[in-house]
Amino acid sequence: MMKIYYEDSMPYAEAFFSTIGECQAFSGRSVTPADIEDADLLFVRSTTKVNEALIANCQNLKFVATATAGYNHIDQGYLKARNIPWYAAAGCNAVAVAEYVLSALCVLAERYKWTLADKTVGIVGAGQVGTALAKKLDALGMGYVLCDPPLQDAGDERNLGSLDDVMQCDVISLHVPLVKNGAHPTELLFDAARLGQLSEQQVLINACRGEIVDNAALLAEFEAGRQLKVVLDVWQNEPNISQALVPYIALATAHIAGHSLEGKANGTEMVYNAACDLLGLEKRQHLQALLPPAQPAEISLPSTDLSWQNVQYLIRQIYDIAADDQDFKKRIATVGQFEYIRKHYAIRREFAAVSVKAGNCALSQAIFGLGFKTIN
């Protein structure tokens, strides 16, 4: 029988993978080569570094997959040298990250007395997450600029802007992979020079990779007295992040932007589907059969008038980033808390899990466009 090892932070892993073979869970923080040496299939999340040190003795290994969109923890060169196919669940948490950004915008709008309709968003990275965010901004009627030089070079037919265009936007939201070399590197894309170009009225959101923003340069900006508005979900040197930087951040969280139940579970299902395709097996398990109802499963708006207050109320009913920010800032000073907060995060639901009783009003179309189910 096929021997499958999977990281214990993958939701519904046993339900999916037991249809393929014999399953064994492991902790990504403590797994040793001896623990998995008889693996046929190895399924991980970003906590597990899949490299020669871990899998050199896995002589039966036929497939490696990560249930995450990112794959910097996978040694692609080593797997290629051994002719072991691998897979990453690209886009699994795209909707969750887009909804994280929307929650941040709602909280900041309330804090700074903005009208969101007046703001433009520069989206750096027009892949899965950037596209998901753009669709939700479309539903709200908010203006945005998509920027993705690699996709532009590849002939993407969308109207893509430049980074200079993005720098003119009220909000700049980063959704790029970590790329260290080549024509379009993203490492330290927001270095001291680019951070210095930000005005105190702009917002910078990083919910992709910590290494995209120079955290030391950002701290220097704050210590020089600049009142920048920054949202950070990802940090350089995780989990040993800059403690000095945290108090300056408008909204700070522990790399959980994509940690909705659906986002994490999508990754599990996508790994399962990829394994079935590779092995020529029937897909006998489906995520929708496993997801529990949301709590609450239905929300009634306090008013059916078309208003930004209604939209902001609705978004924050499902996910309120302010609560995560408060918890993070209270607990992060203790050593080891970054990993603990992330590992024990109370996974939230996505908009699509909730029905909204909005009545027959103009707001219904926007609510539906955001991903909610609507009830007249």
52 in active site: no
Q: What distances in angstroms separate CA 175 from CA 56, 205, 292, one per listed residue?
A: 33, 9, 29
Distance between first and last Cα of the chain: 51
Q: How far is CA 116 from CA 103, 137, 229, 299, 365, in A?
A: 12, 10, 15, 22, 17
d(CA 100, CA 260): 9
| Catalytic position from the list 45, 175, 209, 259 | 209
User: Which residue's entry shows tokens 């991980």?
Assistant: 44
Distances from the Cα of 168 to the Cα of 8, 94, 199, 204, 311, angstroms: 43, 25, 10, 12, 26
Question: What gap in Å lies between CA 277 and CA 299, rounded to an integer?
Answer: 39
> How many CA atoms, within 13 angstroms, populate the side-chain half-sphere of residue 302?
9
**238 in catalytic set:** yes
Q: Is 23 helix (H, G, I), strand (E, B) or coil?
A: strand
Q: Is the four-CA dihedral 337, 339, 341, 343 of positive or negative sign?
A: negative
Instruction: List the beta bridge partners of residue 374.
Output: 356
Whether 255 is a known active-site residue: answer yes
Distance CA 230, CA 323 (A): 17
Q: Which of 37, 52, 187, 238 is catalytic?
A: 238
Structure-block tokens of residue 240: 């040993």
R_g of the chain, CA atoms, integer Å: 21
**Rounded to 10 degrees, what is the CA torsion of 271, 319, 298, 359?**
-120
Q: Which of 45, 255, 259, 342 is catalytic?
A: 255
Residue 297 phi/psi, 5-degree rounding, is -85, -15
Order of all β-strands in the sheet with 41-44: 22-26, 3-7, 41-44, 63-66, 86-88
Active site residues: 209, 238, 255
